[in-house]
Amino acid sequence: MTGLLLAEFADAKQLVAATQRVRGRCRLIDAYTPYPVEDVVELLEHRRSYIRVAMLIGGFAMAALTYGAEYYSAVIDYPYNSGGRPFDAWPTFMLFPFATGILVAAVAGFTTFLAECGLPRLHDPLFAVAGFERASQDRFVLALERPDADDDRRQMIGALRGAGAVAIREVEP
Partner 1 sequence: MTAVTLRNDATAAEATRWTLPGTRDFEIVNAMIAAPLLDRGAWRWRAWWIGFVISLALTLAFLFAVFLVFERGIGIWGVNTSSVWGFAIADYVWWIGIGNAGTLISAMLLLMRQKWRAATNRFAEAMTLFAATVAGIFPIIHLGRPLYFYWLTPYPNTMALWPQWRSALIWDFWAILSYILFSILFWYVGLIPDFATMRDRAATKVPRLIYGALALGWRGAARHWHAYEILHLALACLGVPLVVSLHSVVGMDFAASLMPGWQETIFPPYFVVGAMYSGFAMVVCLAALVRWGFRMDGLITLSHFDVMAKVMLAAAIVMGLSYATEWFNAWYGGERADRSLVAFEFTGAYAPMFWALLLCNVVIPQAFWSAAVRSSIVAVFVIAVAINVGMWFERILIVWNTLSHDYMPGMWRLFIPTIWDWITTLGSLGLFALMYLVFVRLVPVVSMHEVRKLVAEEAAS
**Residues 15-21: contacts with CB under 8 Å, at least 24 apart:** 15/40, 15/140, 15/142, 16/40, 16/43, 17/163, 17/164, 18/142, 18/159, 18/160, 18/163, 18/164, 18/165, 19/43, 19/44, 19/142, 21/159, 21/162, 21/163
Per CB under 8 A, the segment of 7-15, 147-155, 157-165 that binds partner 1 is 7-15
Pairing of strands 167-171, 28-32: unpaired
Q: Which is nearer to partner 1, 95 or 166 (CB)?
A: 95
Shortest spacing between CB 37 and partner 1, in angstroms: 7
Q: Are 166 and 9 in contact (CB under 8 A)?
A: yes
Judged by CB under 8 A, the residue of 5, 37, 160, 163 near partner 1 is 37
The reply to whether 60 sits near partner 1 by the rule CB under 8 A is no
Region of residue 146 (phi > 0: left; psi between -120 and 50: alpha; otherwise: beta): beta
The reply to whether 138 sits near partner 1 by the rule CB under 8 A is yes
Q: Which is nearer to partner 1, 126 or 157 (CB)?
A: 126
- The rounded distance, in Å, linking the Cα atoms of 40 and 19 is 7
Size, binding site for partner 1 by CB under 8 A: 62
Chain positions 75 to 134 lying near partner 1, rule: CB under 8 A, are 77-78, 82, 85, 89, 92-93, 95-96, 98-100, 102-103, 105-107, 109-110, 113-114, 116-117, 119-124, 126-127, 133-134
Shortest spacing between CB 151 and partner 1, in angstroms: 29
Q: Nearest 10 degrees: CA dihedral of 103, 109, 111, 116?
A: 180
**Residues near partner 1 (CB under 8 A):** 11-13, 30-38, 40-41, 44, 46, 49, 51-52, 55, 59, 69-70, 73-74, 77-78, 82, 85, 89, 92-93, 95-96, 98-100, 102-103, 105-107, 109-110, 113-114, 116-117, 119-124, 126-127, 133-138
